Structure 1
Amino acid sequence: MTGYYDYVLGLIPAALIGVTGLLTLIGLSPSAALPVGAVAAAAVTAHAMFVRTPVTDGAPAERSGGSAAD
């Protein structure tokens, strides 16, 4: 079963290569199109890391304010 992060892993190189290739076909030089493709791939990565954060199935570990000697 594929999940969100499986799609993200496939979309990162697709965004980099696809956007760069599309802009190159339109007429932009490859040295100018590559940073735009890199920004697109970075945006996909940032979305996966910060907007839709990975969570675990278990409950988060509780931290106590006391010291270990308590």
Structure 2
Amino acid sequence: MGEELRNEGMSLSYHNHNFEMKKYDDVTALDLIMKHTHKNNLSLELDVAWAARGGQDPASIIARYSGRV
């Protein structure tokens, strides 16, 4: 879907909540989403309050996904 939107001059962004911050085998659901999507097709609209509420450091997420936030 992100590629189709990009071809039409639009972009697709993912807005997180706290439950994407839960770790599974030391990887968050957000990390899995970002890993399995192309940077040109999905950006991250990071909700820093939900990230912190989920036990993660928003600044480290921003650094990890710079260029996609």
- TM bin, normalised by shorter chain, reads under 0.3
Give TM-score, length-normalised by structure 2.
0.28
- Structure (1 or 2) with the greater helix fraction: 1
Larger Rg over CA atoms? 1
- Structure (1 or 2) with the greater strand fraction: 2
Give TM-score, length-normalised by structure 1.
0.28
